[in-house]
Structure 1
Amino acid sequence: MAAARSQPEDDPDPSNSSTIRDSGTPSVLELEDILESSRVPLNHVDEVWPNLYIGDLVIAHDRKQLRRLGITHVLNAAHSKWGSKGDAIFYGRKIKYFGITADDCPEFDLSSYFYTAAELIHQTLRNPDAKLLVHCILGLSRSASLLLAYLMIYHERSLLQAVHRMVLFRPISPNCGFLEQLRNLDIELNEKKKQPQGWPVDCQMISPTDTVSHALLSEPTGKALSTASELVNREEQDINSRSNIGSMEGSSHRRRSRSGLQSGTEDDYEPPPMSELQKCLWTRASSSHVDQVWPNLHLGDAWTARDKLMLQHLGITHVLNAADGKFNINTGATYYKDMNIQYYGIEAFDATDFNMSPFFYPAAKFIRAGLNTVGKVFVHCAMGISRAATLVLAFLMICEKMTLVEAIKTVSAHRNISPNYGFLGQLRELDRALIRERRR
């Protein structure tokens, strides 16, 4: 493994360099030119700020090397993404773990995590003995964008200064969408600096409020974020105090009253903006190949779909494959012909421009039919995170009369999910349509 490059304490501040032009927020093209000019080698991990490291999956999965570095906290900007296996269980008690299920695509709104992630980094580094690793798959785009935002928010660096600082120690390459979001943050922060009396209340650092997204992210005592294990423990206590999983059906009116929305009535409910919905998807529970997310309804991956013994053990009677087809998980009805299983396949692709909404009602109907026969339904795609999760959320909204926020909370209590940005938008439109229907 390439050695980590350390950040020297007497490193000159790039903001003092005469070569840095800071007359305004640079364009995306100008930023890309600066990023491409970096000549430092790419290591598995680099220290870019005292006790703050950025790295890739190799270092994130190397627990022995993390111990050598003295890492005490890990922030994974690619939680549950392909190849990323880290979670609170993987790291144990000696390392606190936080996860963000971010996609490395220009359409993904990473800006909704800028302030909360920056606050997490800031609070962690206040302890002089703490060392934090921020990583994604390659340590180039998602994690780098969060670190740039941290330097801008907490160290008053302009975007240009933050970029110059980072490329001294590591080549980074945020995608064009993230760069544009960082530009917007730079403009916002510059406007705040011009205000003579400091930042107004509505521009202060994000803190816990009564909104559902912050309720999922925050401790009531005022901590900005909770570890995955703390979130799981709190969710388990909450569930146990109300009911067991078998009593969840037929109680949508009770769920609505504790959904965490600012309004206590359905008449006042409006689907949250996309940025708020993405915050709801911060990691909350550890996922297995398959998890029961609703009575007799299981959500999982292709590994379980191909494991007939596991399906028999679970008593599965219906399989819904959200990744059917020659170029996907090509099982089909014939694969289960020696089993008493009803099969329904949807040839969907996990792409933001794929229209999943035409399958919402047919999939919900199939799931409802399976559950009505006292059967057990297994819904899967490749990883059980995006396509399959989207259809399960739609089922809960259509058949169990949940709002999208309630459906996300219900499923996330048992499994990490991350519908892509396009699917999340389609679910939001379904949420809006169902609310209109119920108000008639």
Structure 2
Amino acid sequence: MRRVDSIASRLAGNWALVSWLLSALIVAAVAGMAAFLYLSPQGTDTALDGERFKIAVVYPDDPGSRQFLAGIRLAVEQVNAGNGLAGAQLDAAYVPEQPFTDRMKLTSVVERTLDLAGRIVADKDTMVVVGHGYSATAVPASAIYNRERRLFLATHATATSLSNLQFTNLFALQPNNADIARVMAHFAMSQGMRRFVLLSDNSGYGTETTKQFQSFIGQEGGEILYRGALSAEGRSIDDLLLFILDNNLFSVNEIDAFFIATNSMEDAGYFIRRARTLGLSIPILGPENLFATALEDVAGLANMHDVAAVSLYDEQSDSPVARQFLADFEARYGKRPDLLAAIGYDAIKLLDYIVDITGTRDTTKLEDKLRVMRYETPFEGATGMVSFDSNGLITDTDTFIVYHNGKNFEAVAKYRKPFAWHGSVTPPDSGRPSAIIKDYMR
């Protein structure tokens, strides 16, 4: 018993390791547990002349979800204003999940998520699930949806473990953390940045993305001056910034860029705002979730200058589909869409697309079509072309670096997925010239 207690004690202090272990245990065990927790899988073959097609949209119950829900609702309205889903009314049930932070006990998060997913699949009419705001909730929920044969369109989750599950019903609409970190690392090095300060929360998302970024920077000869916690028990972000400004390890003048990865828009926004207030005009790089109006709201628009993120969505795209989405979103809500607004919109339009071309709402047939359409006719959405590889991960699409000019994000570099790195983080095409960024940084 003492040995077990000792192991448990060590694991309790390592959120990332606990996350990985619990995710693995959940994936292995939930399929078996489901036989005890739920009834046998319900058939999802519904006639095309049915009156409604019900989906569940799962979202974090916080201000950061406003744009995501706005994109979802715009698409649902447009689908129903047309022919619906092959003649059926699209009925979206909006299901909130508790906002996740790295300060929570992972066991409690998993328990709540399994309960929520169980209640969703208990409704026999719910055929598709869209959303889940975090990898920490999407991973355990995906096992329930797989067992109960519900199509799952994961809009937020980027954990590499998600696509490695190889569930046939699971489709990830964003690149994973490894791809996101690799793209940002290449961009940073291509701009002459060589020395970095890395900051993250203690979640699996923050630690995995930061470790991947650190690895790719190291491969290309870059230097990590410091890696630490963006937020930690007993230390404020102001304390962190004071350390950065005055320490014996490095000087501020040595830092080419910060890289931050956190689930908390409040922490990220506060760090950006306070860093700028204290005179730190250094570029702040990060993963996809920095492309968010919620972050602008916390940080302040002017303070967002020189913040860069990875995105599938390019607001300045000349694609007719993207231009129409932008016009429709601004007309409906009076504001510009961010990345999650575009992905939420595309998730609904993608569902409409595959139902239309297959002539069925049988989820098994829809899954098959989603996997094979890469080689037939991919879907074009606001984020560009959408298709999936054999693991259900989005592929054959453009990924952008978006850079904030103090007013809005603009795409300044483009990468094509799947990426051709040739054993290095340097692809043959490095995107637009560095003069673009230097102009932003004046």
Q: Provide the TM-score with structure 1 as the length reference.
A: 0.29
Greater relative contact order, per chain length (Cα 8 Å cut-off, separation 6+): 2
Instruction: Give the structure with the larger strand fraction.
Output: 2
